[in-house]
Structure 1
Amino acid sequence: MRDRRGERSRRLRRHCAAADSTRTDDRGQLSLTVVEAVVATLFVLAVAAGFALAPPAPTAESDALARQATDAASLVGSVPAEGPGTLLGVACGSPAEFDDRAARLHEVAAAGLPNGAFVSLRTEVGSVGRPPPETARVRTATAVVPRCTATLEVWYP
């Protein structure tokens, strides 16, 4: 009888030892539904963030303003001077020549703009017109002639 008890206690100890060793290897599993819910939530958040962070589409107003800036730059770059070359090219000869022709350059740049629009013209030798405030809607264009590059900003307050 003693062997039987000893045998039973040994089996019981082996069984307990085996049960303890399987407990350390057991892993919990997530429900497939929980995993799907997390993935779906992340997908929806990613799509929402994509819409929230996307740049706004250009409006017809900003396209018109860009066209006005390009037209003004074309006018400024093509107006002939009294002598050879263009008005802008002669004006860029020196700061004094720019100052002499600044009013005419500004007049030419503003000629095709609608009421309420402003223009600012900058070159290496000088600038004319009011610079736009930070809150203004601004579009920029460049006029390039020999010896001079002018940057025009057309803006609405």
Structure 2
Amino acid sequence: MPERADDERGQLSLSLVEAAVGLVFVLTVAATFGLALPEPGTTEAQLDTYATDVATIVAHERPADGDGPRMADIDDRETFERERETLERRIDELLPDNLLYRMETPWGTLGVEPPASVRTGGATVTIPAGTVTVEVWYG
């Protein structure tokens, strides 16, 4: 048997290496999509969390002037109407752009009515004048 020179070693085909790398890439992407799917019921839980956060913050957050909780300052419909824009702006800041909301207070409502066909999340907090209920959904 003749001896092989060092420069005559066998080499792996470059196209075979490219195919292996491509296969690993495709499998990685497929696994990522498969693992990233949310569990059933996750949407409702996430919506409930958003609603709870909004209800709690809006009901208990101090206004910019620092004079007591915002909702506690509102004691009639006239004050509610005067604060409406500020409340709507604050809720818009708290929620992601793809969520819509409806907030019911003892003095009136903010936001829009949710369509019957959407899943919603909700939360209720108690304030001195009654309850504040927030409903959120993907819009």
TM-score, scaled relative to structure 2: 0.64
Specify every segment of 5 or more residues in structure 1 that has no aligned partner in the other structure, as ranges.
Answer: 1-56
> What is the aligned-residue identity percentage?
28
Of residues 73-82 and 130-139 in structure 1, the stretch that sits farther from structure 2 once superposed is 73-82
More RCO (CA 8 Å, sep 6+) = 2
Letter in 2 for 1:128: L
User: Who is 1:152 aligned against?
Assistant: 134
Bigger Cα Rg: 1
- Answer yes or no: is the 8 Å Cα contact 1:121–1:153 preserved in 2: yes
Q: Does 1:87 align with 2:78?
A: no
> What SS class does the counterpart of residue 74 from structure 1 fall into?
helix
Alignment of 1:3-82 (within 5 A): 58-81=40-63, 82=65
Could you tell me how far apart the structure 2 residues matched to 1:142 and 1:89 are? 15
The Cα shift of 1:143 comes to: 2.3
Greater helix share, 1 or 2?
1
Runs of 4+ in 1 over 3 A off after TM superposition: 81-84
The Cα shift of 1:135 comes to: 1.2
Could you tell me how far apart the structure 2 residues matched to 1:118 and 1:109 are? 10
Could you tell me how far apart the structure 1 residues matched to 2:95 and 2:67 are? 27
- Relative to structure 1, the CA distance from residue 134 to residue 117 in structure 2 (aligned partners, 3 Å threshold; closer, same or farther) is same
Matched length: 100
- Answer yes or no: is the 8 Å Cα contact 1:141–1:152 preserved in 2: yes
- Answer yes or no: is the 8 Å Cα contact 2:106–2:129 preserved in 1: no
Deviations 1:54-97 (A, max 9, x none): xxx95212111111111111111122134642111222x11110
Of residues 115-124 and 73-82 in structure 1, the stretch that sits farther from structure 2 once superposed is 73-82
Specify every segment of 5 or more residues in structure 2 that has no aligned partner in the other structure, as ranges.
Answer: 1-38
- Answer yes or no: is the 8 Å Cα contact 2:47–2:122 preserved in 1: no
- Computed over aligned residues only, the root mean square deviation of the Cα atoms, in angstroms, reads 1.9
Could you tell me how far apart the structure 1 residues matched to 2:92 and 2:99 are? 8
Alignment of 1:105-124 (within 5 A): 105-124=87-106
Could you tell me how far apart the structure 2 residues matched to 1:103 and 1:133 are? 23
Could you tell me how far apart the structure 1 residues matched to 2:93 and 2:73 are? 20
Of residues 57-66 and 132-141 in structure 1, the stretch that sits farther from structure 2 once superposed is 57-66
